[in-house]
Amino acid sequence: MAHKPRGKTNKGATYHVASDVNRKAFELEPDDDKELLLKVIDEAKTKKKYKFEMHNFCIMDNHIHFLITPELGQSLSMIMKWIKQVFAIRWNLKHGKTGHFWGDRFFSREIVDDEDFLKIYDYIDQNPVKAGIVNHPEDWKWGGLYHHQAGVTMIVNPATEKVLERFPWHKLGTDPNRYLQ
């Protein structure tokens, strides 16, 4: 049965996107599989296949979160389809498997205002902490905060002023201990 088409991407809109691994299995648990997904996302951005801003992200062992703004004329559905499809093909080849990697369709919700944006931004940062994987979000190598502090901008765009006002530790190259009290 075909899925009901999603609505059109609103011009300039930002979305919280999440997608689960099929059966919520911990298939992204090996670090090299998370690295493979990072490479696919980077390829989607740097090869100019799709144009989007990745404000924040988190790759967990069994799901992903993105805070993403497709550029004008770009489709969120097409961006996500390409990332998920290319990753699934490469993951299957690497592991000698066939079939689905991802579960149901990805979740997406349009961000309604600045406060909503900041709430989701922090939610994404805190995901590995709430899962009990790390004690501090900057310790999770597969998230936007780690990338900001490491000065890595291939996946995540530099934090905006509104983000830095609330979360100054997202400044590129920041020492997180500077903000501990």
pTM (global) more than 0.85? yes
Identity of the highest mean pLDDT range in 26-30, 66-70, 147-151:
66-70
User: What is the C-alpha to C-alpha distance for residues 172 and 75, in angstroms, rounded to an integer?
Assistant: 28
The parent domain of residue 20 ranges over: 15-179
Q: Is residue 8 in a domain? A: no
Is the model's pLDDT at 93 over the cut of 50?
Answer: yes
- At 93, list the tokens: 């080849």
In a domain, 10, yes or no: no
24 domain residue, yes or no: yes
Instruction: Please give the share of the chain, as a percent, with pLDDT higher than 90.
Output: 75
Number of domains in the chain: 1
CATH of the domain at 97: 3.30.70.1290
In a domain, 151, yes or no: yes
Contact predicate 153/172, CB 8 Å: yes
Query: Which position has the higher pLDDT, 179 or 143?
Result: 143
- 93 domain residue, yes or no: yes
180 pLDDT above the threshold of 60: no
Query: With contact defined as beta carbons under 8 Å apart, do 45 and 145 qualify?
Result: no
The answer to whether residue 4 is domain-embedded is no
Determine the Cα–Cα distance for residues 155 and 107; give it in Å rounded to an integer.
20
Q: Which amino acid is at 115?
A: E
Q: How confident is the model at residue 137 (pLDDT cuts 50, 70, 90)?
A: very high
Q: Is residue 92 part of a domain?
A: yes
Cα 70 to chain centroid, rounded: 13
